[in-house]
A and B are shown apart, each in its own frame.
Chain A
Amino acid sequence: MALLEINNLHASIDGNEILKGINLKVEKGEIHAIMGPNGSGKSTLASIIAGREEYEVTKGSVLFEGKDLLDLAPEERAREGVFLAFQYPVEIPGVSTANFIKASVNEIRKHRGEEPLDAASMMRLMKEKLALVEMDKSFLSRSVNEGFSGGEKKRNEIFQMAVMQPKLAVLDETDSGLDIDALKIVANGVNKLHNEENAFLVITHYQRLLDYIVPDKVHVLLNGRIVKSGGKELALDLEARGYDWIKEELEAGAPQNS
């Protein structure tokens, strides 16, 4: 059974169809990259997987470990092991990062029938994961994302991911806005967390990231559809040639999978 299986997914917002029949299968242990021009629907896909309610799914299904994901509230999906690293992480004034993560971890533990973590273990867990993304522990006492630089916000997402240990992590342009050192740190974090039991869906515009996080598959999302899938070489092609050749291929009716 695939970890994630998306079949003919159609979704709209305010009557505009944005996803027009997405098919995607991610197995445990895999890393998939999704690339595609601005506005093609990448974040929309990520949002629907995470359960954002303003999108209306008009057709198709999303299965997670064989269960219907679309039936679950966002928090239930999170507790089941679906994580989204946001393209634009929000700020939560007055709520310390430590408190936020504590609330989150304990919810997930409760879902698994585990006791809440005591303060010392919680602290140990946070410190260990902070080290993974090379963040200072002073971030813990700062309000969630408030006043964080763009890069710090992205690292904070990976930090949270490391703490929560999801089965499926969707990274929505976690690399944009990162300097080269931060990019390596983030990629390194992902690689350390990656194992045979989990999977990553990495949305990115830049092949650069895929030098560090090596994908099993690369998909091109164009105008609400996955129009091409391939191995990691596809990303290099895209980097070199842009998207026009794919559009041309499409118009010429060429086969969509290489």
Chain B
Amino acid sequence: MSKDDKIIHEVAGSEYKYGWVSNIEEDTLAPGLSEETVHFISAKKNEPEWLLEWRLKAYRQWLKMTPPSWQNLKIPPIDFQSISYYSAPKPKKKLDSLDEVDPELLATFEKLGISLEEQKRLTGVAVDAVIDSVSVTTTFKEKLGELGVIFCSMSEAVREHPELVRKYLGRVVPPTDNFYAALNSAVFSDGSFAYIPKGVRCPMELSTYFRINAAGTGQFERTLIVAEEGSYVSYLEGCTAPQRDENQLHAAVVELIALDDAEIKYSTVQNWYPGDKDGVGGVYNFVTKRGICEGRRSKISWTQVETGSAITWKYPSCILKGDDSIGEFYSVALTRNRQQADTGTKMIHIGKNTRSRIISKGISAGQSQNSYRGLVSINKGAENARNYSQCDSLLLGDQCGAHTFPYLDCSNPTAQIEHEATTSKIGEDVLFYCRQRGMDEEEATALIINGFSREVLKKLPMEFAVEAQKLLAISLEGSVG
């Protein structure tokens, strides 16, 4: 092996830094999926009858569906009967403050460098921490309450704001949308709900840190964000998972709804356990994320930094229904070892003068496969729609793959569509330049990769961008400082 190959090998093969298992008491349902399971979950959460019916309908649909197979992924068959569909940390009593939270949980967050206390004090971020399936703690609720902003767990929303949930749940991602969305609709355990009333600019970033924490437990989050007329919200989602050998299925659904002049910014840093060097273990991340720009001049912006998961199947999309609405997708996906990612977006232009922008940066190392898949669809009535797409791939080594699958479906001749794509390797001369200035190859590589991703990283809120930058470096470094 040449020296460069060796470095790339080391860089690509670094151990997962966040691999540990915490010992929070679990309350876990035995594996298996049937109508009974759906009844159990719904009952456990004291749900109203309509929601149980909604779930059952989704379940019956799901039975008739098959997993999608068009993506550029090799997915081993999943035995849905071997998965446990409910798991909750047992709160000893109702929690009023962080002091009452399981110290083990707090320690877990500290290991991630995202101590809730610090977050609260320093950044003014309201954190709704989700461990496994049930929200453990919600902060800043009162302050948000004064403005009429609702930010709570989905279970709580179902209890406290049933009319809103009933109105919007499944509106953007119907239960029958696809195999995994149907599964999620049947068994979703918890998630987040945010509602921003008319004209309110949410003063702080709403943030949820997800963790998968129970062996053999699938996690089915459901997130719903509604931004009323003229409102604004920035939402952060981040996650890591402990190392283990069994594959863990994650099939989340996220729905965003932006009314007239509203803006939703949704940022994700995803770092689930990717499996070991040989691809054993790791999370399967099959997510349906979609937003609708329902109102005129509304805007939805997805930003994602994806470094984790064994398999990623994810296409945060925008339906641009309102005239003059804007959809954006900024993505960095880094794959290494035997990770597979098939990710991208769909921009569906329906309204007039709608605009969309797609910036995708794929970084592949090791023997990983990294695909961008994007659809730009211009409907008949979408006069003067505009799209700009740019997909750049960076390869580290020669055993990995980068693929780009842009689809275009244009039914209106006034549309202006631009697509640019590049594939490159890190140049020897750039590496040498950095090394001549005292950086070793790993550090140089991390620096160059951060530069490559900058257009996307700068779209993240400040603190998140710093974390994401570290994450990219950590994911690539052989040794972690």
Could you say which of A50, A95, A99, A111 contacts B436, with CB atoms under 8 Å apart?
A50
Q: A242 in the interface, Cβ–Cβ < 8 Å? A: no
Chain B 414-454 near chain A by CB (<8 Å), digits 1 or 0: 00000000000001111011111111110100011011111
Whether the Cβ atoms of A104 and B430 lie closer than 8 Å is no
Query: Smallest Cβ distance from A164 to chain B, in angstroms?
Result: 7
A94 touches B439 (CB 8 A): no
A103 near B447 with CB under 8 A, answer yes
Contacts of B450 in A (CB 8 A): 94-95
Does chain B have a CB within 8 A of A254? no
- Chain B residues with Cβ below 8 Å from A143 are 451
A53: interface (CB < 8 Å): yes
Report Cα–Cα, A248/B80, bound state, in Å: 86
How long is the Cα–Cα vector from A75 to B436 in the complex, in angstroms?
5
CB nearest neighbor in A for B437: A104
The residues in A between 36 and 95 inclusive whose CB is less than 8 angstroms from any CB of B are 50-54, 73-75, 77-79, 83-84, 86, 89-90, 92-95
Q: Is the interface of B mostly helix, strand, loop or mixed?
A: helix
A143-B453 Cα distance, complex, nearest whole Å: 13
| Residue from the set B3, B436, B439, B447 with the largest chain A CB neighbour count within 10 Å | B436
Please state if A95 and B432 are interface contacts (CB–CB under 8 Å). no
Contact assessment for B433 and A86 in the assembled complex, using a CB-CB cutoff below 8 Å: yes
Q: B455 interface residue, CB < 8 Å from A? A: yes
A160 CB-CB contact with B under 8 Å: yes
The answer to whether B438 touches A107 (Cβ under 8 A) is yes
User: Could you give, for residues 158-201 of chain A, a 1 whenever the CB lies within 8 Å of some chain B CB and a 0 otherwise?
Assistant: 00100010000000000000000000000000000000000000
Known: A90-B430, A92-B430. A75 touches B435 (CB 8 A): yes
Q: Given that A92-B430, A107-B443 are known contacts, is A78 also in contact with B451, CB under 8 Å in the complex?
A: no
Report A-chain residues with C-beta under 8 Å of the C-beta of B427: 90
Complex CA gap A52/B433 in Å reads 10
Q: For window 99-136 of chain A, which residues contact chain B by CB distance below 8 Å?
A: 99-100, 103-104, 107-108, 111
A111: B residues at CB distance < 8 A:
438
Known contacts A78-B437, A160-B437; A95 and B429 CB within 8 A of each other: no
Let me know if A75 and B440 touch, CB within 8 A: yes
Instruction: Determine the distance from Cα of A225 to Cα of B97 in the docked complex, in whole angstroms.
Output: 77
- Alpha-carbon distance A83/B438, docked complex (angstroms): 9
Q: Is the CB of B437 within 8 A of A95?
A: no
Give the size range of A's interface with the partner: 20 to 34
Also in contact, A84 and B443, with CB within 8 A (given A93-B452, A94-B451, A94-B455):
no
Contact call A104/B451, Cβ cutoff below 8 A: no
Task: Pick from A53, A54, A73, A92: contact of B433, CB below 8 A.
Answer: A92
A94 touches B435 (CB 8 A): no
* Contact status A107-B439, CB under 8 Å: yes
Q: Are the CB atoms of A100 and B437 closer together than 8 Å?
A: yes
Are A78 and B433 CB-contacts (below 8 A) given A53-B3, A95-B451? no
CB distance from A149 to the nearest CB of B (A): 18
Instruction: Check B435 against A73 for contact (C-beta < 8 Å).
Output: yes
Known contacts A95-B447, A99-B447, A103-B447; A90 and B429 CB within 8 A of each other: yes
Residues of B contacting A104 with CB < 8 Å? 434, 437-439
Q: Which B175-195 residues have a C-beta within 8 angstroms of A?
A: none
Q: Once the chains are docked, how many angstroms separate the CA of A240 from the CA of B453?
A: 52
In Å, the complex CA distance between A33 and B434 comes to: 25
Is A78 touching B448 in the complex (CB atoms < 8 A)? no
Task: Give the chain B neighbours of A107 by CB distance below 8 A.
Answer: 437-440, 443
Contacts of A108 in B (CB 8 A): 438
A131 and B327 CA atoms in complex are apart in Å by: 44
Contacts of B435 in A (CB 8 A): 51, 73-75, 78
Within the assembled complex, what's the spacing in Å between the Cα atoms of A51 and B452?
Answer: 26
A74-B435, A90-B430 given; A100·B447 CB < 8 A: yes
Chain B nearest CB: distance from A166 CB in Å?
A: 10
Residue ID in chain B nearest A78 by CB atoms:
B438
> Nearest chain-A residue to B443 (Cβ)?
A103
> B438 near A92 (CB under 8 angstroms)?
no
In the complex the two chains form, what is the Cα distance from A52 to B428 in whole Å? Answer: 10
Most chain A C-beta atoms within 10 Å of own C-beta, residue among B427, B437, B455:
B437
User: Which of these, B437, B441, B453, contacts A164 with CB under 8 Å?
Assistant: B437
Nearest A residue (CB) for B454: A94
With A92-B430, A92-B433 as known contacts, state yes or no: A75 contacts B439, CB within 8 Å: yes
Give chain A residues whose Cβ lies under 8 Å from the Cβ of B437.
78, 100, 103-104, 107, 160, 164
Instruction: Please state if B438 and A94 are interface contacts (CB–CB under 8 Å).
Output: no
**B433:A89 contact, CB within 8 angstroms:** yes
* Residue interface bits B1-15, CB-to-A below 8 A is 1, else 0: 001000000000000
Measured CB to CB, the nearest residue on chain A to B441 is: A75
Nearest chain A CB to B6 CB, angstrom units: 12
A73 contacts across to B, CB distance below 8 A = 435, 440
With A and B bound together, what is the CA distance between A94 and B430 in angstroms? 13
Q: How far is the CA of A75 from the CA of B3 in the complex (A)?
A: 14
Docked CA distance A114–B439 (Å):
16
Pairs across A and B, CB under 8 Å, 5 listed: A75-B441, A103-B437, A103-B443, A107-B438, A108-B438
Binding site for A on B (CB under 8 A): 3, 427-430, 432-441, 443, 447-448, 450-455
A-B contacts besides A74-B436, A90-B433, A93-B452, 9 pairs, CB < 8 Å: A74-B432, A84-B436, A93-B451, A93-B454, A94-B454, A99-B447, A103-B437, A104-B439, A164-B437
Which 4 A/B pairs are nearest by Cβ-Cβ distance?
Answer: A94-B451, A94-B454, A95-B451, A107-B438
Which positions in A face B, CB cutoff 8 Å? 50-54, 73-75, 77-79, 83-84, 86, 89-90, 92-95, 99-100, 103-104, 107-108, 111, 143, 160, 164
